Chain A
Amino acid sequence: MSRVLRLLRTVFLVDILSGLGVTLRLYFSRKVTVPYPEKVQAPAPRFRGLPRLFRDEAGEPLCIACKLCQKSCGTNCFDIEGRKAEGVRHMRPVKFDWTLERCSFCGFCVEVCPTSAIRFSPEFRLTGVRRDGLVFHLDEMYLTGDALQEHLCGGCRRAT
């Protein structure tokens, strides 16, 4: 009986028609495209975007120039120099050069930082038109949003 059934299925193009049915059903189903850039899907909270330096609630920088991030980085992104000023409790960085060119977004610097000064941000628009946009000096390490885009590509694109 199954031979006859198989013959009938072949003659009446059952597999062809069922395939057509699948595409027709999905033709009428909801589309999954997100209309970027009008609608931007916010990345997950733990998303590994551009590493940024952060300040505490008082506005003081959290980085104490311990250079643990520099040691843990496998691709030599960091170049840090610190100095301890008189009467101040911690060292502060005087030079903090970080290059996006080498970063593999592995997260070792974030995991190892004792003060959570360097953390991932949700920034994922990281393209630019100039090589020097990829190097961040100390002040530039705090840039996010439009200011970051300005640094990366000279204002050729909005952040939002």
Chain B
Amino acid sequence: MELREYDLNMGPQHPSTHGVLRLKLAVDNEVVLGVEPVLGYLHRGMEKLWESLTFTQVVPLTDRLDYIASLSNNLGYCLAVEKLAGIEVPKRARYIRVVLAELQRLASHLAWVGFMANDIGAMSVLLYAFEAREHVLDIFEEYCGARLTVHGIRIGGAVRDLDAPLASRIRAVLEKIPERLEDVRALLDENRIWKERTVGVGRISAADAIDYGLTGPPLRASGVAWDMRKDLPYSSYDDFDFDVPLGANGDVYDRYLVRLEEICQSIRIVRQALEGLPEGDPRAKMPRVLKIAPGEVFHTIEAPKGVLGFTVRSNGSDKPERVKMKSPSFINLQALDHMCRGNLFSDVIGILGSLDIVLGEIDK
């Protein structure tokens, strides 16, 4: 009997592609032979736009890159500019940034687990995860007024101080989140259907993961212990005691476990940061107009989705000459073809979900 092969298009509009992503699939009955992502549907010309804005005006626009974890983008860009301009960030500001960034990591991973479970069919997990995420977003709203495009981290520090009432609210939220997480774990961790869909699916070896340039939870799930917070610490991360969860098999199930464990570790880091919040200013003294001497810097941070890098080149004026963003989702998406080959069509959704891509930062 002749085996047929035909092209399937998961168009830019699809309930499960986490944004406007087009996937061209070559499918043989049910088995996937190749995947080609087509990008650009959300391209907004960010990097070019930034060349006409001042360094500070770029910060709110970085929110719109990875819109699920906007504070991480703020942090990445601000750290790069501070490195370029030689701005010293006070210790209190660094701790506040850690609190914000880890809360954002928590929120991003919760959103991820919700979307992933919804794609696989467990609809209720989406709502439980988002209910937990609401508490974190309420903190952000109380801190600086916005829930999604937070713009809470500025060049030189954080937008305002983290006072005691807000710190106790954050501690209360950190109590509530593990309860909801337990519900999610009870529904998914040992569930035979979930394990059937995720164990052994989308496997990638450690060597291949490094070759493809994977970063973040997909890399750590393959067993490679690389986390920017530990290996190239920034913003006082080396003051905190936390573990980096590693997976063994590099499949979807390991990525799921790694991200859930990272949520627990983030809670741990936030508790330590709130405990040891030093005295000082929440933001360095910045000149009215920030002019940076010519130079170029590349700085990376561990965003929830992977390693986020910013290259900033200045030419002495108050506007950057070039800002280039290396987004983790863009690089991670490369490995989709490798991971999907030989798997079934329904697994493409699961594998794509496990990579945790967001089109805002892929297409910029």
Chain A residues near B (Cβ < 8 Å): 10, 15-16, 18-19, 21-23, 26, 32, 43-48, 72, 74, 104-108, 120
Q: Say yes or no: A15 contacts B191, CB within 8 Å.
A: yes
| A46-B142 contact, Cβ under 8 Å, with A74-B60, A104-B60 | yes
Structural contact, A48 and B146, CB atoms closer than 8 A: yes
CB pair B187 A22 closer than 8 Å: yes
Q: What B residues does A107 contact at CB under 8 A?
A: 60, 145, 151
Contact A23 B144 (CB under 8 A): no
Taking the nearest CB of chain A, how far is it from the CB of B335, in angstroms? 30
What total of chain B residues lie within 8 Å of the partner, measured CB to CB? 27
**Contact at A18–B186, with CB atoms within 8 Å?**
yes
CB of A16 within 8 A of CB of B192, answer yes
Interface of B is mostly: helix
CA gap between A48 and B143 in the complex, in Å: 11
**Interface hits, B40-62 → A, CB 8 Å:** 53-54, 56-61
Residues B192 and A15 in contact, CB atoms below 8 Å apart: yes
Contact of B145 among A10, A21, A44, A108 (CB under 8 A): A44
Name the distance in Å between B342's Cβ and chain A's nearest Cβ. 27
Given the contacts A32-B131, A106-B151, A44 and B141 also touching, CB distance less than 8 Å: yes
Specify the chain B residue showing the minimal Cβ separation from A13: B192
Whether B186 contacts A19 by the Cβ 8 Å rule is yes
Most buried by B among A26, A43, A44: A44
Residue of B nearest to A74 (CB): B57
**In the complex, how many angstroms separate the beta carbon of A67 from the nearest chain B beta carbon?**
14
13 interchain pairs (CB within 8 A)?
A19-B191, A22-B186, A46-B143, A46-B144, A47-B141, A48-B144, A48-B145, A48-B146, A105-B146, A106-B59, A107-B151, A108-B56, A108-B57
Known contacts A19-B191, A104-B61, A106-B60; decide if A26 and B141 are in contact (CB<8 Å). Answer: no
Q: Check B128 for interface membership: any CB of A closer than 8 A.
A: yes
- Residues of chain A within 8 A (CB-CB) of B145 are 44, 46-48, 107, 120
1/0 per position for B134-169, CB-CB distance to A under 8 A? 100010011111100101000000000000000000
Let me know if B317 is at the binding interface, CB within 8 A: no
Is A105 a contact of B149 with CB atoms below 8 Å? Answer: yes
Quick check: A44 and B142 within 8 Å, CB to CB? yes
Tell yes or no: B124 within 8 A of A by CB.
yes
Bound: A106/B154 CA distance, A:
11
**Chain B min CB distance to A33 (Å):** 10
Nearest-neighbor residue (CB-CB) of A72 within chain B: B57
